[in-house]
Amino acid sequence: MAHMPRTDAVQNRRRILAAARSLLSTRSLDVTMRDVARAAAVGPATLYRHFPTKRDLIEAVFAENVQECERIVEEGRADPDPVRGFTCAVTGLVVHNLAHRGFVEAYIATSPEQDWFAAHRRVLLSRLMEIVRRAQEIGALRGDLTSSDLVLLLLAVRGLSALPPGMRDGAARRYAELSLDALRGSSLRERPPLDDDLADRATGLDEAVRLAERGGLERREGAGAGAADPA
């Protein structure tokens, strides 16, 4: 008879995964196992019993993210229009990755610790490049576009995490829009001016960037003032 895990063990595993997912969505991979145990309200022994290494934990946390990225690219591949398929795939990946900062770092990392991600990354980029080649054949995408360019595009989206959370989805879509425009083939370079809706969105993003910059400046000034106070 198969051994069934105890209810408390199942609950602990769920709490650990939820805590790790929350930490890794907002922070980089420097999140420690101790950070996760503290956030999940479990002891280190319980954490290591479920996940002996940080790599085991990261793989478990990001398994759903990998599946979602694969689904996004597969939808793009299935579209008979390669331009539309590439547009949807890139936009979907950019929006998803901005919401999961730690996942992007793990997915792009080249260290041996993340070799599990490397295999998935190779497959994903290979499938995405299939769409690219189909679009290049009809002159819809620039001919010198490579998989390295796609990695660079996805890495750059991390900078948008400095924006207020409520503005990030719109910022991700606008970033994807501008990036896709830069990747178009010469036959599709000319585009009409922004309509009123896009112009309003761009104005809103400008304001969000100013707020983010102002907040960063205030934090630095506050830190400087604190350092100057006598002990």
Cα–Cα distance between 46 and 52 in angstroms, integer?
Answer: 10
Buried b (16+ CB within 10 A) or exposed e, 126-155: eebebbbebbbeeebbbeebeeeebeebbe
Distances (CA, A) of 114 to 55, 63, 180: 7, 13, 29
pLDDT string in tens for the chain (231-residue length): 445 457 788 899 999 999 998 888 777 678 899 999 999 999 999 999 999 998 899 888 888 888 899 999 999 999 999 999 999 999 999 998 888 777 777 766 655 555 667 788 889 999 999 999 999 999 999 999 999 999 888 888 878 878 888 898 899 999 999 999 999 986 544 444 444 444 444 444 445 445 555 554 454 455 555 544 444
Residues in the chain: 231
Domains of the chain plus CATH, in order, are 9-52 (1.10.10.60), 61-200 (1.10.357.10)
Contact 106, 29 (CB under 8 A): yes
Phi, psi for residue 95 in degrees, rounded to 5: -65, -45
Torsion sign (Cα): 178, 129, 160, 96: positive
